[in-house]
Amino acid sequence: MASAKKLPSGSWRIQVYAGKDENGKKIMKSFTAPTKKEAEAMGALYAVSRKEEQNAGMTVGQAIDGYISVKENVLSPSTIGGYRLTRKNHIQELMDIPLDKLTNAEIQSAFNTEAKRLSPKTLRNARGLLSASLAMYLPDFTLHITLPARQNKIKNLPTPEEVIKATHGTRIELPVLLSLWLSLRMSEVRGIRYKDIQDGTLTIQNTKIKFGAKEFEREQTKTFKSTRVLAIPPYLMQLIGTGEPDEYVIKLKAQTITKILKRIIKEKTGKEMVFHDLRHLNASVMLELGVPDKYAMERGGWSSPNTLQAVYQHTFSEKRKSVDKQIDNYFSALIPHEISHEEK
If you average pLDDT over residues 177-192, what whole number do you get?
A: 93
- Segment 163-180, tens digit of pLDDT: 999 999 999 999 999 999
Q: Is the per-residue pLDDT at 305 higher than 60?
A: no
Please write the tens of the pLDDT for every residue from 50-72: 766 666 678 999 999 999 998 88
The residue among 163, 167, 177, 171 whose CA lies nearest residue 327 is 177
Alpha-carbon distance 165 to 51, whole Å? 62
The pLDDT value recorded for residue 311 is 35
Phi-psi region of 212 (alpha: psi -120 to 50; beta: other; left: phi over 0): left
* 341 confidence band (pLDDT: 50, 70, 90): very low
| Residue 289 CB neighbour total at 10 angstroms | 13
Task: Flag the least confident range among 214-218, 295-299, 307-311.
Answer: 307-311
Q: Cα(226)–Cα(207) distance, rounded to whole angstroms?
A: 10
d(CA 34, CA 287): 66
Say which residue, 155 or 136, is predicted with more confidence.
136
pLDDT value of residue 151: 64
Higher pLDDT, 318 or 281: 281
What is the C-alpha to C-alpha distance for residues 168 and 92, in angstroms, rounded to an integer? 45
Which of 141 and 51 is assigned the larger pLDDT? Answer: 141
Which amino acid is it at 142? T
Give the integer Cα–Cα distance in Å for 241 and 131: 47
Mean predicted confidence (pLDDT) in 78-89 = 89
Q: Where are the alpha helices (DSSP H) in the chain?
A: 36-54, 60-71, 77-89, 104-114, 120-137, 160-167, 173-182, 186-191, 234-240, 254-269, 277-288, 293-300, 308-314, 318-332
The whole-number average pLDDT for the span 24-28 is 82
Question: Tens of pLDDT along 197-233?
Answer: 999 999 988 888 776 666 767 665 555 445 688 999 9
Looking at residue 217, its pLDDT comes to: 75
pTM, whole model, 2 decimals? 0.61
| Overall average pLDDT of the 274-298 stretch | 85
Give me the domains of the chain, ranges plus CATH numbers: 5-54 (no CATH), 60-137 (1.10.150), 160-343 (1.10.443.10)
Mean predicted lDDT score pLDDT of the chain: 84
Whole-number pLDDT of residue 55: 64
Spatial distance between the Cα atoms of 296 and 301, rounded to a whole number of angstroms: 8
> In which region does residue 200 sit, left (phi positive, over 0), alpha (psi from -120 to 50) or beta (all else)?
left
pLDDT of 115 strictly over 70: yes
Given a cut of 50, whether residue 315 has pLDDT beyond it is no
- Tell me: pLDDT of 242 over 90: yes
Among 136, 133, 146, 138, which Cα is nearest to 61's? 133
